[in-house]
Every structure is written in structure tokens, then in C-alpha cells.
């Protein structure tokens, strides 16, 4: 006889409120239903009441983990409408911020995944290393979470001494190589807990349209930094790690390899950073009427902003956000079908869900 197991929305194991209804047969999950919307703050509507400077500060608060990515995407869309082109140094600074954010997001995810595996030591270790990433972010922007680095036509703050930041990044890379990566790739505890569970096959990944590390772990080699380069990514060399297995371990490996690639991108970007101004210096910007679309590869996958503007308006007519978790959510259902009940928290965390982005 099957029974329904409700979990959430305000549940101690979850960082964010959402509700998961699982239909179980004994210990096996037959089906799952995900209810979201507990974090709905009406940001898209609020954006229509804010002017082009306020809307950047508002959109930064869509998500506290990938705050920089949201302003980057919004600013890119607004730059298309104003016709401004950021100077090369600003583009490199945007790459550095985006990659540092990817680094801290992946390490944070590794910590949460370790906690869900019951590997508390690793959780603490990940957060200790994450603090060092936060130090670099704080050294550049002065803040730990909402960096407010992006503006229309450039960035707000310069990286005065890229080589000093380079030293910090290299030390960070050494720590990643010596602790996080080996534990997640070779530890038998981690392997026994995540190999073969939550499998998302290649066909299902394509039909669900998953994005980001979830797609790359199922053998879909998609990466917007390569497919549709933005900022300065076309001038940097990096690989896109792809795994074929599609289980939680594959997602773990993809993120571990991405941490290494990110360190490589950071080293290149900091070494190659051109000199010059960091913004266009326009005192007043004029928007042309129309709709602009911008896409960016966030730590969790593709973020898309569609920004509409009316003639002679200071406020956007519409700001629409499509977040990676929205694309990845339907896949959770296929991952948990047939899984053991005890594995479901780890499986749903393996897509790195961010419901505050998705609900807005």
C-alpha cells in the first residue's frame, strides 16, 4: 500500500521553504510532487516601479548566492537597449566576479551535499575554504554577499592590483586541490553514498531541458560561456567538464572539475586584464523602446533576462527572469522515482536548487 510523505515547506533540513510530497511504497519513492512559491516576493512586479538605477539594486536581491549573476544579466540586457558597450577592463572584472561567485557557490554546494551525506567534517571543511573565497570577494568589492559590482556600461569598482588577487586565487586553488577535490573524487564514503542514485539519463535530460552542471553530468555538453560568449569569455581558454553517468556522483564530479576550470579562468583573466577605464562614464542614459534578451551561465545553469522598455521611460516596462532551477526542477521527479526515501534529500539537493531565485 502506498502512502504520502509530505516534507516541508518549513522543514529543518531545508534552507528554503518548499514542499515535497512523496508517494512511497515501503521505502521506495514512487512519485514526487514539488510545490514552490513560498518565497514569492513579487520582484518582477516591483521592478516595473523602479528606475534604471534602483532596478539593479533590486535584482541583486533576487538571490543571495548568485547575486552578481543577476545584475550582470540585467546590465547586459539594459546595455543592449541603451547601446552602451562596456570597456574591456570592465568585461574582465565581470568575468573575475562571475567566476569567484561560481567558486563560492560550488564550494557551498559541496558543503551542503556533504552535510546531507552525513559527512559533517567535510561540511565544516568546505565552509572553512569558502571563507577564503569570501575574503577575495570582500577584498575586491568590500562586501561578502551583495557585491553591487555591475552597472549599466561597466562596473562600479576597479580591481586595483590584479596580481595581489592572483596570489590569493593561487593559494585557494592549492587548498581546493589538497582537500575538497580528493575527498569528493576518491573518498569511499562519498562514493558509496552517491554512486548510482538519482540517475537522470541523457534522453530524459534532453527532454526535460535541464541546464548547467545537471545537464553536463548527464552527458549534455552545453555551456553558454562557450556557446554564446558574453563578457570576456571569448578570449579565455577553458574546458567544459562533461560526465556521462547522470547520477549524483557525476554531478559531484562535474562540479569538482568545474572548480578547477574556474581557478584556471581566474588566473588567465587576472593575468590578462587590460588597463583602461572601468565604465563608459555616461552621466545620463537613454533607453530605446523594445525588448532585449540576455543569457548568462550562472553556477547552476543558464539565467535569462528579458527586459522591455517603453519610449521615454525611466522604469522598465517588464523584467522577466528565467532561472536555472526552474529548468531543472521537473527533472527531480524522474531522479527520485524508484529511489530510497533516505536518498531523496541528497538527490533533490544535487541539482543545487535555489527556490528564492525561482519564486522571486
Partner 1 sequence: MNLWNRLMCICRRRSPWLFHMNTGSCNGCDIELIASLTPRYDAEQLGVRLQGSPRHADVLCITGPVTHTAVQAIHTVYGQVCGPKAVVAIGSCPATTNVFIDSRVVVGPLNRHIPVDVFVPGCPPRPDAIVQGIAKAAEILAMRGDTETAVEASIAPDFKLETTEVRR
Beta carbon nearer to partner 1, 39 or 350: 39
Angle between helices 88-117 and 67-82 (to 10 degrees): 150
Binding site for partner 1 (CB under 8 A): 9-10, 12-13, 15-17, 37-43, 45-46, 49, 57-58, 61-65, 67, 108, 123-124, 127-128, 130-131, 134, 144-146, 354, 356
Contacts of 130 (CB under 8 A, 6+ apart): 104, 107, 108, 111
Beta carbon nearer to partner 1, 134 or 293: 134
Q: Tell the smallest beta-carbon distance from residue 135 to partner 1 (Å).
A: 9
Query: What is the number of helices (H) and of strands (E) in the chain?
Result: 15, 8
Q: Tell the smallest beta-carbon distance from residue 115 to partner 1 (Å).
A: 9
C-alpha span between 135 and 180 (Å, rounded): 18
**DSSP-derived secondary structure for 8-33:** -SS-TT-SS--EEEEEEETTEEEEEE
Beta carbon nearer to partner 1, 84 or 134: 134
Beta carbon nearer to partner 1, 128 or 206: 128
C-alpha span between 322 and 303 (Å, rounded): 6
Q: Tell the smallest beta-carbon distance from residue 111 to partner 1 (Å).
A: 8
Q: Tell the smallest beta-carbon distance from residue 43 to partner 1 (Å).
A: 7
Beta carbon nearer to partner 1, 5 or 134: 134
DSSP-derived letter for residue 104 is H
* C-alpha 333 chain-centroid distance: 21
Beta carbon nearer to partner 1, 63 or 117: 63
Q: 295 has which bridge partners?
A: 304
Beta carbon nearer to partner 1, 147 or 233: 147
Please list, residue by residue across 215-234, b when 16 or more beta carbons sit within 10 angstroms of its beta carbon and e when fewer do: bbbbbbebbbbeeeebbbbe
**191 burial via Cβ count (<10 Å: 0-12, 13-18, 19+):** middle
Q: Tell the smallest beta-carbon distance from residue 191 to partner 1 (Å).
A: 25
Amino acid at each position: 500500500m502506498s502512502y504520502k510523505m509530505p516534507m516541508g515547506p518549513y522543514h529543518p533540513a531545508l534552507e528554503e521553504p518548499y514542499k515535497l510530497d512523496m508517494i512511497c511504497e515501503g521505502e521506495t519513492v514512487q512519485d514526487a510532487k514539488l510545490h514552490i512559491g513560498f518565497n514569492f516576493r513579487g520582484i518582477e512586479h516591483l521592478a516595473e516601479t523602479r528606475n534604471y538605477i534602483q532596478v539593479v539594486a533590486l535584482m541583486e536581491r533576487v538571490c543571495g548566492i548568485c547575486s552578481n549573476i543577476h545584475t550582470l544579466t540585467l546590465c547586459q540586457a539594459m546595455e543592449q537597449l541603451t547601446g552602451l558597450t562596456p570597456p574591456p577592463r570592465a568585461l574582465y572584472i565581470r568575468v573575475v566576479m562571475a567566476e569567484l561567485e561560481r567558486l563560492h557557490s560550488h564550494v557551498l554546494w559541496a558543503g551542503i551535499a556533504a552535510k546531507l551525506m552525513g559527512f559533517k567534517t567535510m561540511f565544516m571543511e568546505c565552509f572553512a575554504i569558502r571563507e577564503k573565497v569570501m575574503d577575495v570577494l570582500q577584498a575586491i568589492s568590500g562586501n561578502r554577499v551583495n557585491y553591487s559590482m555591475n552597472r549599466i556600461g561597466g562596473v562600479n569598482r576597479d580591481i586595483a592590483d590584479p596580481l595581489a588577487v592572483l596570489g590569493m586565487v593561487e593559494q585557494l586553488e592549492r587548498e581546493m586541490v589538497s582537500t575538497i577535490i580528493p575527498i569528493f573524487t576518491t573518498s569511499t564514503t562519498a562514493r558509496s553514498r552517491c554512486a548510482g542514485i538519482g540517475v537522470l539519463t541523457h534522453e530524459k535530460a534532453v527532454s526535460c531541458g535541464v541546464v548547467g552542471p545537471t545537464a553536463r553530468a548527464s552527458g549534455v555538453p552545453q555551456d553558454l560561456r562557450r556557446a554564446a560568449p558574453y563578457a570576456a569569455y571569448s578570449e579565455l581558454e577553458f574546458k567544459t567538464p562533461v560526465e556521462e553517468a547522470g547520477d549524483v556522483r557525476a554531478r559531484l564530479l562535474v562540479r569538482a572539475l568545474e572548480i578547477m576550470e574556474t581557478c584556471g579562468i581566474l588566473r588567465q583573466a587576472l593575468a590578462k586584464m587590460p588597463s583602461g577605464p572601468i565604465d563608459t562614464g555616461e552621466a545620463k542614459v537613454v533607453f530605446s523602446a523594445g525588448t532585449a534578451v540576455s543569457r548568462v551561465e550562472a553556477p547552476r545553469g543558464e539565467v535569462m533576462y528579458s527586459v522591455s522598455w517603453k519610449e521615454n521611460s525611466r522604469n522598465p516596462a517588464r523584467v522577466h527572469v528565467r532561472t536555472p532551477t526552474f529548468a531543472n526542477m521537473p527533472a527531480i521527479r524522474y531522479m527520485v522515482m524508484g529511489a530510497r526515501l533516505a536518498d531523496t534529500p541528497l538527490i533533490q539537493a544535487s541539482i543545487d536548487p535555489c527556490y528564492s531565485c525561482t519564486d522571486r
